[in-house]
Structure 1
């Protein structure tokens, strides 16, 4: 970083503030299928994003070549873009004294583990899946990926820090077969530490969902109580997570605009975004602009408390930044985003959720989440699951449709379970919704 800083400082134009964001990612990946290795990869990606600011104007450019010549050219491009951009008084860097190596525990395993090591573990997990139920005929794909990241962040307003982080992510798709019918179900888990990655729990859940969808029965459309299995509700929450972001607010792309302090959900529903959770996948000491991360109450007992802001969206909306500036890599600009977003669990058991009403649909899988409308909140999704009476299975259903509005779902939540699980950086327990339209 010191060499990069000296290079840019030498050519920096008077009157311009600037920011240097260097990101390095080392990735190791293994994919297996039918207990055979499909793919092995170990790769490194390094680059720098340069932002320049002047009189409410901003320019941005990036490069993967950190040679002196390329750095100078990248800075000049950013300046040229800045001079041509429109003025906006929120286009300015965050000014604060944040310096040195920041404490952000990570798993060094990712630096020396090999793709072959990960592949061996994947094949073991495939074998484990088959031992759980004789109807499991194979694994379509099982992947295990580790990522080590380093961030160096400097700006001319007092930011000069660096930190490292790590993540491990695994996904699985299992095939179940009974008679002439077959079904496939997927699951995934992620963790900062490989030792904490609940791989066997992931396999168990995927097997449970796959065999629970075999030989489905006909179903008549109706409005009925519905329990979303924890990963199904986490998926729905993630699909609509943009409605809570400052960028959606300033772009007028959220139905929550103007609803701060109002009741938008059931009183049993509390939603939290927390970038400080110990070992949280998206936890970090600061956000992508150097602002301290924190625990943010998004919804408290049904009341919408406020949006998640980056520095710019906070300035734009007259609010305080919440430590929710994110950037995918050096190639992207900071924007508002979630850190570790989760539904606060209660002390209600999963069994109690499924016996609260005489008849309940247990949703195990959702399809078509990319089609939801985060502006209106409307959705119509494919689903699979189990019809329960007094908590006992009476039929399996597949290819049904659940439809409604996200805010109506939140308002109709009757109970929240105690089985919180994080799927990446989004977590949820199982959730009971009193009324949902279910179509055949």
Structure 2
């Protein structure tokens, strides 16, 4: 695959160079598999494979872009002509430039050959194992809405006129379960998912058991009194808030004045117990890769250190605007689009406390297991008001399940209210967090 991608990429780059433009060729070959089972039988099985090329060119500070999935000689000529011709319609921008090379890339283990060597029947069995584990966990599990296995393999090549030449392959796999528990006329849902870069790290039994546990612990949930109470966020909930924070440290959002963190470098934006990093080299991380979508080496970027904002995330364009260097965060999900700033493995660094230690001195509080409506949170003002579910904390222990409440506040105030960080760092896709203890949060209920 590397040889084919390199041949195609070099052919297109040479054509573009002959027309006197700076050019970048991005080639991506991707294969995806999705399996869902129901009562042990395969409900759906989908395989998809795609390969395409995106061409970015810069002429007189003007940007042009075109893409194709047709690799015939004529189509390759057309994509070059299209990209170059578009330059005449775009406005000059002094910050448009491609990264220079050659680069030295970190050596990362991001490809597990076992995933592709595993048979289809064995992958189906992984989905079945997750489903069986859910059913066998407790008699109150009445329905398994979805149980499945997924994997993806991708090959990426980037060549540009300034010496960048980068190729790597990666893959990952995962299982998931959505379950329903019923008892005495009440029904509640629970889910679990796990995505790993190594097949041996995947544990479908644990996924199934967690989905069942999450459904059962929510049975007979009720509302709770309104007020300000101490809270603990489960890792999954904390990662939902990380999605909001990721937008706030995006240099493009900063430059467009669409982030609460604009102008706050060097200032305290959270509790001293909080440290936030983006690490494209994190071992086993789903977002780990030797380079970003522009061929810039991946790196570890400290964003918040002990509550102080110390950096933003940059791609090449936003770095040029701020007269700095890219942090290796030029990201794109497809050959059909241009790169933009995006996170890799975006995580809050763990502390040393267990969950029991986090809550053992809370006389009354709220343990948050789920939030709904995070898309309504405003990364510019930092304001949020979202639905929540979880369990009450009484005398340092989890007690009554809670549903139908809201939590509200401002993200800066929330970060400042974090008084302790758990040791239970867990990733959900490219975001990871431990449990967080919040001194006080506004709870809206009865």
Q: How would you bin the TM-score normalised by the shorter chain?
A: over 0.9
Tell me the CA shift for residue 13 of structure 1: 4.5
Alpha-carbon displacement from aligned partner over 1:262-296 (angstroms, at most 9, x marks no partner): 00000011111111112211111111112121111
Alpha-carbon displacement from aligned partner over 1:194-213 (angstroms, at most 9, x marks no partner): 21124333333322221111
Over aligned residues, Cα RMSD in angstroms? 1.8
Partners of 1:57 and 1:50 in 2: CA distance: 14
Partners of 2:106 and 2:54 in 1: CA distance: 20
Tell me the CA shift for residue 12 of structure 1: 4.4
Worse-superposed segment, 423-432 or 370-379: 370-379
> Which residue of structure 2 aligns with residue 238 of structure 1?
243
Task: Kindly report which structure 2 residues correspond to 1:60-139, keeping only aligned pairs within 5 A, or say none.
Answer: 60-98=65-103, 104-139=109-144
Tell me the CA shift for residue 171 of structure 1: 2.5
Partners of 2:197 and 2:181 in 1: CA distance: 31
Partners of 2:313 and 2:9 in 1: CA distance: 32
Worse-superposed segment, 242-251 or 428-437: 242-251
Partners of 1:239 and 1:144 in 2: CA distance: 28
Tell me the CA shift for residue 114 of structure 1: 4.6
* Residues 254, 376 of structure 1: 8 Å contact kept: yes
CA, structure 1 residues 161+198, in 2 after alignment: closer, same or farther (shift >3 Å)? same
Partners of 1:220 and 1:189 in 2: CA distance: 34
CA, structure 1 residues 11+18, in 2 after alignment: closer, same or farther (shift >3 Å)? closer
> Which residue of structure 2 aligns with residue 372 of structure 1?
377
SS at match of 1:240: helix
> Which residue of structure 1 aligns with residue 41 of structure 2?
36
Q: Which of 307, 331, 334 is residue 339 of structure 2 equivalent to? A: 334
Worse-superposed segment, 175-184 or 98-107: 98-107
Alpha-carbon displacement from aligned partner over 1:224-277 (angstroms, at most 9, x marks no partner): 011011111112212432111112112221100000010000001111111111
> Which residue of structure 2 aligns with residue 184 of structure 1?
189
Tell me the CA shift for residue 396 of structure 1: 1.4
Partners of 2:95 and 2:435 in 1: CA distance: 41
Alpha-carbon displacement from aligned partner over 1:53-76 (angstroms, at most 9, x marks no partner): 112111011011111111111111
Q: Which of 149, 165, 174 is residue 169 of structure 1 equivalent to? A: 174
Tell me the CA shift for residue 103 of structure 1: 5.6
CA, structure 1 residues 99+361, in 2 after alignment: closer, same or farther (shift >3 Å)? closer
Partners of 2:245 and 2:127 in 1: CA distance: 32
Unaligned stretches of 5+ in structure 1?
Answer: none
Worse-superposed segment, 246-255 or 114-123: 114-123
Is 1:287 the equivalent of 2:292? yes
Alpha-carbon displacement from aligned partner over 1:353-384 (angstroms, at most 9, x marks no partner): 12232111001111112222111111111111
SS at match of 2:14: helix
* Residues 102, 163 of structure 1: 8 Å contact kept: no
* Residues 103, 163 of structure 1: 8 Å contact kept: no
CA, structure 1 residues 86+100, in 2 after alignment: closer, same or farther (shift >3 Å)? same
Q: Which of 390, 396, 405 is residue 391 of structure 1 equivalent to? A: 396
* Residues 110, 288 of structure 2: 8 Å contact kept: no
> Which residue of structure 1 aligns with residue 405 of structure 2?
400
* Residues 109, 283 of structure 2: 8 Å contact kept: no
> Which residue of structure 2 aligns with residue 309 of structure 1?
314
Is 1:223 the equivalent of 2:228? yes
* Residues 353, 421 of structure 2: 8 Å contact kept: yes
SS at match of 1:98: coil
> Which residue of structure 1 aligns with residue 3 of structure 2?
none
Query: How many residues are paired up?
Result: 440
* Residues 29, 118 of structure 1: 8 Å contact kept: no
Q: TM-score scaled to structure 1, two decimals? A: 0.95
Partners of 1:270 and 1:4 in 2: CA distance: 40
* Residues 313, 329 of structure 2: 8 Å contact kept: yes
Alpha-carbon displacement from aligned partner over 1:81-137 (angstroms, at most 9, x marks no partner): 112111111111111113899765401233344544322211221111122222222
SS at match of 1:306: coil
Q: TM-score scaled to structure 2, two decimals? A: 0.94
Tell me the CA shift for residue 329 of structure 1: 1.5
Instruction: Tell me which stretches of 4 or more aligned residues in structure 1 moved more than 6 Å.
Output: 99-102
> Which residue of structure 2 aligns with residue 359 of structure 1?
364
> Which residue of structure 2 aligns with residue 154 of structure 1?
159
CA, structure 1 residues 49+3, in 2 after alignment: closer, same or farther (shift >3 Å)? closer
* Residues 414, 432 of structure 1: 8 Å contact kept: yes
Partners of 1:335 and 1:187 in 2: CA distance: 30
Tell me the CA shift for residue 44 of structure 1: 0.9
> Which residue of structure 2 aligns with residue 56 of structure 1?
61
